[in-house]
Every structure is written in structure tokens, then in C-alpha cells.
Amino acid sequence: MKKLQVYVVSDSVGETGEQVVKAVATQFRPNFDHTIIRKFPHITNKDHIQNIVEIAKAQDAIIVFTLVEESMRKNMIEVCNQKGVKSFDLLGPMIAMFESETNQKPLEEPGLVHKLDEDYFRKIEAVEFAVKYDDGRDPRGLLLADVVLIGVSRTSKTPLSQYLAHKRLKVANVPLVPEIDPPEELYLVDPKKCFGLVISPEKLNIIRRERLKALGLSDDANYARHARIEDELKHFYKVVEKIGCEIVDVTNKAVEETANVIIHKIEQGR
């Protein structure tokens, strides 16, 4: 069986070219017998291309390349033709087709797809973090979070946590109840990362009464009474003062508005 050597040359990490080569190679050699696939990532100048082609020539290898810059692709083809090395351009023909279809010039910036992938996985990680450390479930998350939200019940802590998570921020939130001491970890959090969410007693009364109705309960329960709300807010202010964190009034604010306020404060702090 003839030995097959393939050099995958890329201006990024080379994963795209490697996966395509493997997909094709398995159609001929499912177990990759007598097959060598070697990656040359982050190739960004023509001297590198010259050296790789010379090595490929000496080892009777073929070259498959994913280069986004047109000048680099042309140089690769030219050098391979000069040296008699077989090569295949994976991206060039498709870039040309897209350029014709869109009437736009390509950015020619290596690694953009991996930046998108990294951004996507950061968002997923942040969303999972927000779920795991929602509603004070695990105080350990407070010290790992980018943002910590505290507030009495029905101040939009959970939806706000999820919204900020989609902005790639790891958020933990803690409900404040007078009968329960906040976790010790809360007082170890950097005050710049912590935000107390407050709402007017009147608005909170309306929200809580509607919540009770939705649950099929009487709307005059202690949970929605003004006296109870005032007690909870007094406790809230005591905790906030001890932490020394920023207070954000969420009365009549959409989650997006509150999130923008917090993001702005964080960026200012940086």
C-alpha cells in the first residue's frame, strides 16, 4: 500500500483542513493505515510557505491549505507548481463564489470562525453558571462570579442573571430575607462586582399580589403586605450598607435597561 502524506497548511489552527482531510482519507483508509497527516498552523508569511513546500517535495507529500489571504493562496499555488508538489486550495474557490454572490470583499482575517466558536462557548458557560448559582443555591459561586445580584423577592434577579449571561458574564444572585442571614461569602465579594436591586414598595406590592393570584393563592397573604415589604427592604439596605455595593433601582425598568446600567458600571470599574 502506498504511503500517503498530507500536509495541512493554515493561517489559523488548521482544524478545518484537518477534518476535511480526515473525512476524505477514511474513504480510502478507514484506519489511516500508511497515512500521515501533519498540520502546519499559523502560517502567516511566504518564507514559511517556501520551507513547507520544500519539505513536502522531499517527503513526497501533498499539501491541502486553508489560507484566507488571496496573496498567500496565490503564493502557495505558485511555489507548489514550481516545485512539482500537488496541492489543493480548500477555501479559495468558495471565497471567490461568496465574493461574486455578495459583491463584497472578504475580510481576509485568519481565525474568525474560532473566535465565533469561543464566543459561543463562553456564552453557554455563562448561562450554565447563572442556572447553577441562581437564587443562592450554592454560595461558593459568589466568589467565582463576574457579577453578583442581591435583592428581595420579585426584583428580577433571575431574568437579569440570564440576560447578563447572554452577554458572557457569569452571574450569581442571592435573595435577601430578614429571617435568614446572607451567606458569609457575600461579604467577601468585591463590592464593585455586587449590585443591590431595589424596587418601590408600591410596585413590589402590585407584583407580589399578581404573583400570588397566578399561583391560585389569596393576594392578601403576608408576602404581599406593605408591612412585610417594608421589613424586607430595611433588611436589604442593611446588607447593602455592610457590603458597600452599588444600588440599582429596577422600578418600572425593563430587564434590558437594568442590564445596561450594570454593564456600564462594570466597564467604568474596569
Nearest 5°: the CA angle 223, 205, 130 is 75
Whole-angstrom distance, CA of residue 199 vs CA of residue 177: 15
The 10s digit of each residue's pLDDT in 89-119 is 999 999 999 999 999 999 999 988 877 778 8
The predicted model scores a pTM of 0.64
pLDDT of 84 strictly over 90: yes
Residue 198 CB coordination number (10 Å) = 20
Tell me what pLDDT residue 118 has: 82
The binding site consists of: 151-158
How much is the mean pLDDT over the chain?
95
pLDDT of 120 strictly over 90: no
Tell me what pLDDT residue 116 has: 74
Asked if 156 and 197 count as a contact pair (C-beta separation under 8 A), the reply is yes
Whole-angstrom distance, CA of residue 8 vs CA of residue 15: 9
Tell me what pLDDT residue 127 has: 96
pLDDT of 270 strictly over 80: no
Tell me what pLDDT residue 111 has: 84
The 10s digit of each residue's pLDDT in 232-264 is 999 999 999 999 999 999 999 999 999 999 999
The 10s digit of each residue's pLDDT in 134-146 is 999 999 999 999 9
Would you give the distance in Å from CA 92 to the centre of its chain?
29
Tell me what pLDDT residue 255 has: 96
Tell me what pLDDT residue 1 has: 87
What angle do helix axes 255-269 and 157-165 make, rounded to 10 degrees?
A: 60
pLDDT of 187 strictly over 90: yes
The binding site for ADP consists of: 151-158
Tell me what pLDDT residue 136 has: 95
The 10s digit of each residue's pLDDT in 216-225 is 999 889 999 9
Q: Cβ neighbours of residue 199 under 8 Å, at least 6 residues apart? A: 151, 152, 154, 155, 207, 249, 250, 251
Q: What is the mean pLDDT of residues 193-217?
A: 96
Domains, the chain: 4-110 (3.40.50.2300), 114-269 (3.40.50)
